[in-house]
Amino acid sequence: GAGVSQTPSNKVTEKGKYVELRCDPISGHTALYWYRQSLGQGPEFLIYFQGTGAADDSGLPNDRFFAVRPEGSVSTLKIQRTERGDSAVYLCASSLMGVEETQYFGPGTRLLVL
């Protein structure tokens, strides 16, 4: 079956703009994770969804970042008033049930804030 897909694959925006990043998890996976990976670093946890609810959003860096998963499938990561420091690869992963299961990662969205 299809893996995790993320759109867009690349996004260039200007400082101060609003962006939305989309994640389509593997069908039937109830758990969904967002990570941010800066150049030369490992992924950094942002938020974990179990179904429609955010089970743990403690990794979101500040209130400019927000994520939703209204129907328990597709998730959108929203960044307001983007800053140059937000430039990174944003990775999404899904797993069948939760943290005990294998996480399958998408290819990421490369965000560049000019």
- Minimum distance between the CB of residue 88 and other proteins, rounded to whole angstroms? 13
- Minimum distance between the CB of residue 37 and other proteins, rounded to whole angstroms? 8
- Cβ atoms of 11 and 109 closer than 8 Å: yes
Q: Give whichever of 81 and 105 is closer to other proteins, judged by the CB atom.
A: 105
Q: Give whichever of 14 and 27 is closer to other proteins, judged by the CB atom.
A: 27
Q: Which two tokens stand for residue 109?
A: 């969205």
Contacts to other proteins by CB under 8 A: 4, 33, 35, 40-45, 48, 55-56, 58-59, 91, 93, 99, 102-108
Helix (H, G, I), strand (E, B) or coil at 32: strand
- Which of 13, 63, 6, 68 shows the shortest CA–CA distance to 37? 6
Q: Give whichever of 19 and 93 is closer to other proteins, judged by the CB atom.
A: 93
Cα distance between residue 57 and residue 86, in whole Å: 17
- Minimum distance between the CB of residue 64 and other proteins, rounded to whole angstroms? 21
Helices (H), the chain: none
Q: Give whichever of 15 and 101 is closer to other proteins, judged by the CB atom.
A: 101
